[in-house]
Chains A and B, each alone.
Chain A
Amino acid sequence: MTAPTSTAAPSGPVVTAKLASTSDELMQCFMLRAAVYMGEQHCPYWEEFDGNDYSASHIMFYVDGEPAACLRLRWFSSFVKLERGAILKRYRSNGLFHFMLGWAKEFARKKGYPKAYGHSQHRLWGFMERDGFRKVDDKVFHFSDHEYGAFVCDLNVDEKTCPTVFTDPMVLNRPEDQLDQQGILEKSAERVPTNPHTEWTKPRIQAH
Protein backbone atom coordinates (compact mmCIF):
# COMPACT_ATOMS: atom_id res chain seq x y z
CA MET A 1 0.00 0.00 0.00
CA THR A 2 2.96 2.31 -0.44
CA ALA A 3 1.25 3.82 -3.47
CA PRO A 4 -2.49 3.95 -4.13
CA THR A 5 -1.87 2.22 -7.43
CA SER A 6 -1.24 -1.47 -7.92
CA THR A 7 -1.15 -3.69 -10.97
CA ALA A 8 -2.72 -7.15 -10.94
CA ALA A 9 -0.80 -8.61 -13.85
CA PRO A 10 1.97 -7.09 -15.96
CA SER A 11 0.13 -7.38 -19.26
CA GLY A 12 -3.46 -7.57 -18.04
CA PRO A 13 -5.85 -4.83 -17.00
CA VAL A 14 -4.58 -2.26 -14.51
CA VAL A 15 -6.25 -2.56 -11.12
CA THR A 16 -6.07 0.43 -8.80
CA ALA A 17 -7.44 0.99 -5.32
CA LYS A 18 -8.02 4.06 -3.26
CA LEU A 19 -9.80 5.21 -0.16
CA ALA A 20 -12.98 6.95 -1.36
CA SER A 21 -12.28 10.59 -0.56
CA THR A 22 -14.68 12.56 -2.75
CA SER A 23 -18.45 12.49 -3.12
CA ASP A 24 -17.99 11.09 -6.65
CA GLU A 25 -15.99 8.16 -5.33
CA LEU A 26 -18.50 7.58 -2.56
CA MET A 27 -21.26 7.63 -5.17
CA GLN A 28 -19.40 5.01 -7.23
CA CYS A 29 -19.19 2.84 -4.12
CA PHE A 30 -22.88 3.09 -3.39
CA MET A 31 -23.82 2.41 -7.02
CA LEU A 32 -21.70 -0.72 -7.22
CA ARG A 33 -23.37 -2.01 -4.09
CA ALA A 34 -26.82 -1.14 -5.46
CA ALA A 35 -25.96 -3.03 -8.66
CA VAL A 36 -24.73 -6.13 -6.88
CA TYR A 37 -26.92 -6.31 -3.78
CA MET A 38 -30.15 -4.68 -4.94
CA GLY A 39 -29.87 -5.66 -8.60
CA GLU A 40 -28.48 -9.18 -8.37
CA GLN A 41 -29.26 -10.32 -4.82
CA HIS A 42 -32.64 -8.52 -4.48
CA CYS A 43 -31.67 -6.81 -1.24
CA PRO A 44 -34.11 -4.07 -0.15
CA TYR A 45 -32.71 -0.52 -0.30
CA TRP A 46 -32.95 0.15 3.44
CA GLU A 47 -31.09 -3.06 4.30
CA GLU A 48 -28.31 -2.29 1.87
CA PHE A 49 -27.97 1.34 2.95
CA ASP A 50 -28.25 0.55 6.63
CA GLY A 51 -27.21 3.83 8.21
CA ASN A 52 -23.57 2.94 8.74
CA ASP A 53 -22.26 4.39 5.50
CA TYR A 54 -21.43 7.77 6.90
CA SER A 55 -19.38 6.44 9.82
CA ALA A 56 -17.24 4.10 7.72
CA SER A 57 -14.28 4.13 5.35
CA HIS A 58 -15.00 3.06 1.79
CA ILE A 59 -12.45 1.60 -0.60
CA MET A 60 -12.89 1.82 -4.36
CA PHE A 61 -11.25 -0.57 -6.82
CA TYR A 62 -10.90 0.29 -10.50
CA VAL A 63 -10.09 -1.86 -13.51
CA ASP A 64 -8.54 0.28 -16.23
CA GLY A 65 -10.08 3.29 -14.52
CA GLU A 66 -13.65 1.95 -14.53
CA PRO A 67 -15.33 1.42 -11.11
CA ALA A 68 -15.24 -2.35 -10.58
CA ALA A 69 -15.43 -3.20 -6.89
CA CYS A 70 -15.81 -1.67 -3.45
CA LEU A 71 -15.53 -2.51 0.21
CA ARG A 72 -16.69 -0.81 3.39
CA LEU A 73 -14.55 -0.75 6.52
CA ARG A 74 -15.75 0.07 10.00
CA TRP A 75 -13.28 0.67 12.77
CA PHE A 76 -14.02 -0.94 16.12
CA SER A 77 -11.56 -0.52 18.98
CA SER A 78 -9.48 -3.66 18.48
CA PHE A 79 -10.42 -4.75 14.98
CA VAL A 80 -11.57 -3.49 11.62
CA LYS A 81 -14.79 -4.91 10.18
CA LEU A 82 -14.77 -5.59 6.44
CA GLU A 83 -18.25 -5.48 4.95
CA ARG A 84 -20.39 -4.71 1.92
CA GLY A 85 -17.77 -6.05 -0.45
CA ALA A 86 -19.06 -5.98 -4.02
CA ILE A 87 -17.50 -6.85 -7.37
CA LEU A 88 -19.40 -6.01 -10.56
CA LYS A 89 -20.37 -9.10 -12.52
CA ARG A 90 -18.19 -8.32 -15.51
CA TYR A 91 -15.06 -8.05 -13.33
CA ARG A 92 -15.44 -11.31 -11.42
CA SER A 93 -13.04 -14.26 -11.63
CA ASN A 94 -10.07 -11.94 -12.06
CA GLY A 95 -8.62 -12.26 -8.59
CA LEU A 96 -10.24 -9.01 -7.48
CA PHE A 97 -11.65 -10.59 -4.29
CA HIS A 98 -8.15 -11.56 -3.20
CA PHE A 99 -6.78 -8.15 -4.19
CA MET A 100 -9.57 -6.42 -2.27
CA LEU A 101 -9.04 -8.35 0.96
CA GLY A 102 -5.28 -7.97 0.68
CA TRP A 103 -5.52 -4.21 0.19
CA ALA A 104 -7.94 -3.81 3.09
CA LYS A 105 -5.81 -5.94 5.42
CA GLU A 106 -2.67 -3.99 4.55
CA PHE A 107 -4.53 -0.69 5.04
CA ALA A 108 -5.76 -1.77 8.49
CA ARG A 109 -2.36 -3.21 9.44
CA LYS A 110 -0.63 0.09 8.64
CA LYS A 111 -3.19 1.89 10.77
CA GLY A 112 -2.21 -0.42 13.64
CA TYR A 113 -5.22 -2.72 13.76
CA PRO A 114 -4.23 -6.23 14.92
CA LYS A 115 -7.31 -7.97 13.52
CA ALA A 116 -9.55 -7.89 10.47
CA TYR A 117 -13.02 -9.29 10.95
CA GLY A 118 -15.89 -9.95 8.57
CA HIS A 119 -19.16 -11.78 8.00
CA SER A 120 -18.93 -13.94 4.94
CA GLN A 121 -21.75 -15.47 2.92
CA HIS A 122 -21.59 -19.27 3.17
CA ARG A 123 -20.67 -19.71 -0.53
CA LEU A 124 -17.51 -17.60 -0.06
CA TRP A 125 -16.04 -19.37 2.99
CA GLY A 126 -13.43 -21.15 0.91
CA PHE A 127 -12.16 -17.83 -0.47
CA MET A 128 -11.95 -16.37 3.04
CA GLU A 129 -9.87 -19.29 4.28
CA ARG A 130 -7.54 -19.04 1.30
CA ASP A 131 -6.98 -15.38 2.24
CA GLY A 132 -5.85 -16.16 5.77
CA PHE A 133 -9.18 -15.78 7.55
CA ARG A 134 -10.47 -18.39 10.01
CA LYS A 135 -13.93 -18.94 11.49
CA VAL A 136 -14.43 -17.18 14.82
CA ASP A 137 -16.74 -20.00 15.95
CA ASP A 138 -19.19 -22.52 14.49
CA LYS A 139 -22.13 -20.15 14.60
CA VAL A 140 -24.08 -19.61 11.38
CA PHE A 141 -26.44 -16.64 11.38
CA HIS A 142 -28.53 -15.06 8.68
CA PHE A 143 -29.69 -11.64 7.52
CA SER A 144 -30.92 -10.21 4.20
CA ASP A 145 -31.74 -13.77 3.01
CA HIS A 146 -28.16 -15.09 3.25
CA GLU A 147 -26.35 -17.37 5.72
CA TYR A 148 -23.20 -15.94 7.22
CA GLY A 149 -20.27 -17.00 9.35
CA ALA A 150 -17.91 -14.69 11.27
CA PHE A 151 -14.27 -14.71 10.17
CA VAL A 152 -11.15 -13.16 11.61
CA CYS A 153 -7.58 -12.71 10.40
CA ASP A 154 -4.58 -11.63 12.47
CA LEU A 155 -2.62 -8.69 11.09
CA ASN A 156 1.07 -8.31 11.74
CA VAL A 157 1.21 -4.75 13.08
CA ASP A 158 4.60 -3.06 13.12
CA GLU A 159 4.71 -1.37 16.54
CA LYS A 160 7.56 0.87 15.39
CA THR A 161 5.74 2.45 12.45
CA CYS A 162 2.01 2.25 13.23
CA PRO A 163 0.40 5.55 14.23
CA THR A 164 0.15 6.38 17.94
CA VAL A 165 -0.42 9.61 19.84
CA PHE A 166 3.35 10.14 19.69
CA THR A 167 3.48 9.96 15.89
CA ASP A 168 4.40 13.21 14.15
CA PRO A 169 1.12 15.21 14.20
CA MET A 170 1.53 16.11 10.53
CA VAL A 171 1.74 12.41 9.64
CA LEU A 172 -1.58 11.81 11.40
CA ASN A 173 -3.08 14.59 9.27
CA ARG A 174 -2.27 12.80 6.01
CA PRO A 175 -4.87 11.02 3.85
CA GLU A 176 -5.34 7.70 5.60
CA ASP A 177 -4.37 5.52 2.68
CA GLN A 178 -1.18 7.53 2.06
CA LEU A 179 0.32 7.89 5.53
CA ASP A 180 3.81 7.56 4.07
CA GLN A 181 3.45 10.46 1.63
CA GLN A 182 3.36 14.17 2.30
CA GLY A 183 -0.19 15.47 2.47
CA ILE A 184 -1.88 18.74 1.55
CA LEU A 185 -1.74 20.09 5.10
CA GLU A 186 2.04 19.77 5.20
CA LYS A 187 2.16 21.91 2.08
CA SER A 188 -0.17 24.40 3.82
CA ALA A 189 2.52 24.79 6.47
CA GLU A 190 4.47 26.86 3.94
CA ARG A 191 2.08 29.69 4.83
CA VAL A 192 2.92 31.49 8.07
CA PRO A 193 0.61 30.94 11.05
CA THR A 194 -1.57 34.06 11.12
CA ASN A 195 -4.08 32.57 13.59
CA PRO A 196 -6.91 34.23 11.67
CA HIS A 197 -9.67 33.75 14.25
CA THR A 198 -7.83 34.96 17.35
CA GLU A 199 -9.37 38.43 17.33
CA TRP A 200 -12.83 36.95 17.42
CA THR A 201 -12.21 34.34 20.13
CA LYS A 202 -10.16 36.33 22.67
CA PRO A 203 -12.87 38.64 24.02
CA ARG A 204 -15.24 35.67 24.39
CA ILE A 205 -12.74 33.75 26.51
CA GLN A 206 -12.00 36.84 28.63
CA ALA A 207 -15.73 37.35 29.21
CA HIS A 208 -15.81 34.00 31.01
Chain B
Amino acid sequence: MPAAALTVDGQHVTTKLAMKMEDSLQAYAVRAACFIGELDVPFSEEFDGHDFGATHIVAYLGEEPVGTVRLRWFQSFAMPERLAVIQRFRGHNIGSALLERCRMQALGRGCNMLYAQALPRDVGYWEKQGWRRLVPEEEGAQPKRIVAMVKAVDPNKPLPEIEAPEAVVLRREAQLDSTGMPHGTVSN
Protein backbone atom coordinates (compact mmCIF):
# COMPACT_ATOMS: atom_id res chain seq x y z
CA MET B 1 0.00 0.00 0.00
CA PRO B 2 1.57 3.27 -1.02
CA ALA B 3 -0.94 5.20 1.11
CA ALA B 4 -0.22 6.06 4.75
CA ALA B 5 0.38 2.85 6.70
CA LEU B 6 -2.79 1.63 8.37
CA THR B 7 -2.51 -0.19 11.68
CA VAL B 8 -5.04 -1.93 13.93
CA ASP B 9 -3.90 -2.59 17.50
CA GLY B 10 -0.30 -2.06 16.44
CA GLN B 11 -0.54 -4.56 13.56
CA HIS B 12 -0.12 -3.41 9.99
CA VAL B 13 -2.90 -3.73 7.46
CA THR B 14 -1.56 -4.83 4.09
CA THR B 15 -3.33 -5.50 0.83
CA LYS B 16 -2.28 -7.80 -1.95
CA LEU B 17 -3.52 -9.13 -5.24
CA ALA B 18 -4.63 -12.74 -5.06
CA MET B 19 -2.07 -14.54 -7.19
CA LYS B 20 -2.17 -18.09 -5.86
CA MET B 21 -5.02 -20.49 -5.20
CA GLU B 22 -4.58 -20.05 -1.45
CA ASP B 23 -4.88 -16.24 -1.81
CA SER B 24 -8.12 -16.60 -3.76
CA LEU B 25 -9.44 -19.07 -1.20
CA GLN B 26 -8.81 -16.48 1.51
CA ALA B 27 -10.70 -13.87 -0.50
CA TYR B 28 -13.63 -16.27 -0.95
CA ALA B 29 -13.57 -17.30 2.73
CA VAL B 30 -13.88 -13.69 3.87
CA ARG B 31 -16.84 -13.20 1.51
CA ALA B 32 -18.46 -16.42 2.66
CA ALA B 33 -18.11 -15.33 6.29
CA CYS B 34 -19.67 -11.92 5.61
CA PHE B 35 -22.25 -12.59 2.91
CA ILE B 36 -23.29 -16.19 3.52
CA GLY B 37 -22.63 -16.44 7.27
CA GLU B 38 -23.67 -12.98 8.34
CA LEU B 39 -26.14 -11.81 5.68
CA ASP B 40 -27.57 -15.22 4.76
CA VAL B 41 -26.96 -14.86 1.00
CA PRO B 42 -27.32 -18.25 -0.76
CA PHE B 43 -24.05 -19.84 -1.87
CA SER B 44 -24.96 -19.81 -5.57
CA GLU B 45 -25.73 -16.07 -5.52
CA GLU B 46 -22.52 -15.19 -3.72
CA PHE B 47 -20.36 -17.30 -6.03
CA ASP B 48 -22.01 -16.15 -9.22
CA GLY B 49 -19.63 -17.32 -11.92
CA HIS B 50 -17.65 -14.09 -12.26
CA ASP B 51 -14.89 -14.99 -9.82
CA PHE B 52 -12.58 -16.50 -12.39
CA GLY B 53 -12.72 -13.49 -14.68
CA ALA B 54 -11.95 -10.96 -11.98
CA THR B 55 -9.07 -9.59 -9.92
CA HIS B 56 -9.26 -10.29 -6.20
CA ILE B 57 -7.61 -8.13 -3.57
CA VAL B 58 -7.15 -9.37 0.00
CA ALA B 59 -6.48 -7.26 3.10
CA TYR B 60 -4.45 -8.78 5.92
CA LEU B 61 -3.96 -7.86 9.53
CA GLY B 62 -0.63 -9.52 10.15
CA GLU B 63 -1.16 -12.97 8.64
CA GLU B 64 -4.93 -12.99 9.04
CA PRO B 65 -7.10 -12.35 5.96
CA VAL B 66 -9.63 -9.78 7.18
CA GLY B 67 -11.07 -8.17 4.06
CA THR B 68 -11.46 -8.52 0.34
CA VAL B 69 -12.84 -6.90 -2.76
CA ARG B 70 -13.42 -8.21 -6.26
CA LEU B 71 -12.48 -6.00 -9.19
CA ARG B 72 -14.00 -6.65 -12.59
CA TRP B 73 -12.67 -5.05 -15.73
CA PHE B 74 -14.91 -3.53 -18.38
CA GLN B 75 -13.94 -1.69 -21.52
CA SER B 76 -14.40 1.80 -20.08
CA PHE B 77 -14.34 1.26 -16.34
CA ALA B 78 -13.29 -1.02 -13.50
CA MET B 79 -15.91 -2.29 -11.11
CA PRO B 80 -15.15 -3.02 -7.46
CA GLU B 81 -17.75 -5.30 -5.91
CA ARG B 82 -18.20 -7.88 -3.15
CA LEU B 83 -16.39 -5.57 -0.73
CA ALA B 84 -16.22 -7.35 2.63
CA VAL B 85 -14.44 -6.89 5.95
CA ILE B 86 -14.80 -9.49 8.73
CA GLN B 87 -17.17 -8.09 11.35
CA ARG B 88 -14.77 -7.68 14.26
CA PHE B 89 -12.23 -5.82 12.11
CA ARG B 90 -14.65 -3.15 10.87
CA GLY B 91 -14.29 0.52 11.74
CA HIS B 92 -10.58 0.64 10.92
CA ASN B 93 -10.77 1.87 7.30
CA ILE B 94 -9.79 -1.52 5.89
CA GLY B 95 -12.53 -1.08 3.29
CA SER B 96 -11.00 2.24 2.19
CA ALA B 97 -7.60 0.58 1.92
CA LEU B 98 -9.12 -2.06 -0.37
CA LEU B 99 -10.88 0.54 -2.53
CA GLU B 100 -7.69 2.59 -2.72
CA ARG B 101 -5.88 -0.52 -3.90
CA CYS B 102 -8.56 -0.91 -6.59
CA ARG B 103 -7.94 2.67 -7.68
CA MET B 104 -4.20 2.02 -7.92
CA GLN B 105 -4.81 -1.14 -9.97
CA ALA B 106 -7.04 0.82 -12.36
CA LEU B 107 -4.47 3.62 -12.59
CA GLY B 108 -1.82 1.07 -13.52
CA ARG B 109 -4.02 -0.19 -16.34
CA GLY B 110 -4.81 3.24 -17.71
CA CYS B 111 -8.44 2.94 -16.73
CA ASN B 112 -9.99 6.23 -15.61
CA MET B 113 -13.32 5.29 -14.11
CA LEU B 114 -14.31 3.23 -11.12
CA TYR B 115 -17.96 2.20 -11.13
CA ALA B 116 -19.82 0.46 -8.32
CA GLN B 117 -23.38 -0.50 -7.51
CA ALA B 118 -24.25 0.40 -3.94
CA LEU B 119 -27.23 -0.23 -1.72
CA PRO B 120 -29.03 3.06 -0.96
CA ARG B 121 -28.13 2.74 2.74
CA ASP B 122 -24.42 2.52 1.83
CA VAL B 123 -24.32 5.60 -0.43
CA GLY B 124 -22.99 7.70 2.48
CA TYR B 125 -20.07 5.29 2.92
CA TRP B 126 -19.12 5.51 -0.75
CA GLU B 127 -19.44 9.30 -0.75
CA LYS B 128 -17.03 9.46 2.20
CA GLN B 129 -14.56 7.48 0.06
CA GLY B 130 -14.76 10.18 -2.61
CA TRP B 131 -17.38 8.57 -4.84
CA ARG B 132 -20.43 10.28 -6.30
CA ARG B 133 -23.71 9.18 -7.78
CA LEU B 134 -23.37 8.54 -11.50
CA VAL B 135 -26.80 10.07 -12.07
CA PRO B 136 -27.71 12.93 -9.72
CA GLU B 137 -30.53 12.10 -7.35
CA GLU B 138 -33.85 13.38 -8.63
CA GLU B 139 -36.10 15.12 -6.21
CA GLY B 140 -39.18 13.14 -5.34
CA ALA B 141 -37.95 10.06 -7.23
CA GLN B 142 -38.97 6.55 -6.17
CA PRO B 143 -36.60 4.91 -3.67
CA LYS B 144 -34.04 2.83 -5.55
CA ARG B 145 -32.84 -0.69 -4.89
CA ILE B 146 -29.36 -0.01 -6.22
CA VAL B 147 -27.45 3.22 -6.79
CA ALA B 148 -24.72 3.55 -9.42
CA MET B 149 -21.65 5.24 -7.95
CA VAL B 150 -18.50 6.43 -9.73
CA LYS B 151 -15.08 7.79 -8.89
CA ALA B 152 -12.34 9.20 -11.10
CA VAL B 153 -9.20 7.10 -10.94
CA ASP B 154 -6.97 10.14 -11.44
CA PRO B 155 -8.29 13.08 -9.38
CA ASN B 156 -6.81 15.46 -11.97
CA LYS B 157 -9.02 13.99 -14.69
CA PRO B 158 -12.59 14.45 -13.46
CA LEU B 159 -15.29 12.33 -15.04
CA PRO B 160 -17.71 13.88 -17.50
CA GLU B 161 -21.33 14.20 -16.45
CA ILE B 162 -23.48 11.40 -17.79
CA GLU B 163 -26.73 12.02 -19.58
CA ALA B 164 -28.05 8.47 -19.67
CA PRO B 165 -31.09 7.67 -17.53
CA GLU B 166 -30.41 5.52 -14.49
CA ALA B 167 -32.22 2.52 -15.95
CA VAL B 168 -29.51 2.32 -18.61
CA VAL B 169 -26.48 2.79 -16.37
CA LEU B 170 -27.84 0.20 -13.94
CA ARG B 171 -28.32 -2.65 -16.30
CA ARG B 172 -28.79 -5.89 -14.45
CA GLU B 173 -25.76 -8.14 -14.69
CA ALA B 174 -26.31 -11.24 -16.75
CA GLN B 175 -26.55 -14.46 -14.78
CA LEU B 176 -24.32 -17.04 -16.39
CA ASP B 177 -25.21 -20.58 -17.23
CA SER B 178 -22.74 -23.43 -16.97
CA THR B 179 -21.21 -22.56 -20.34
CA GLY B 180 -20.55 -18.99 -19.26
CA MET B 181 -23.25 -17.54 -21.50
CA PRO B 182 -26.00 -15.31 -20.10
CA HIS B 183 -29.21 -17.05 -19.03
CA GLY B 184 -32.11 -16.08 -21.28
CA THR B 185 -32.35 -12.47 -22.34
CA VAL B 186 -30.99 -9.60 -20.38
CA SER B 187 -33.54 -6.89 -19.74
CA ASN B 188 -32.64 -3.26 -19.31
Contacts and interface: CB of A to CB of B under 8 A. Distances in A.
Q: Is chain B found bound to chain A in the same assembly?
A: yes
Interface of A: 27-28, 30-32, 34-36, 38-40, 42, 44-46, 48-49, 66-67, 88-90
B28 A27 contact: yes
B37 A38 contact: yes
Contacts of A27: 25, 28, 47
A66 B40 CA distance: 13
A34 B43 contact: no
B42 A66 contact: yes
B88 interface: yes
Nearest to A86: B37
B63 to A, nearest CB: 7
B33 A39 contact: yes
B29 A34 contact: yes
Given A66-B43, A67-B43, A34 B64 contact: no
A42 B40 CA distance: 16
A27 B25 CA distance: 8
Interface of B: 25-26, 28-30, 32-34, 36-38, 40, 42-44, 46-47, 63-65, 86-88
Which among B28, B33, B36 has the highest number of chain A CB atoms within 10 Å? B33
A23 to B, nearest CB: 9
B52 to A, nearest CB: 11
A34 B65 contact: no
Given A38-B86, A39-B37, A40-B38, A45 B26 contact: yes
B44 A31 contact: no
A146 B49 CA distance: 35
Nearest to A28: B43
B64 A39 contact: no
A35 B38 CA distance: 7
Contacts of A89: 37, 40
A66 B28 CA distance: 17
Contacts of A32: 32, 36, 43
A38 B32 contact: yes
Contact of A36 (B37, B64, B88): B37
B102 to A, nearest CB: 22
B51 to A, nearest CB: 9
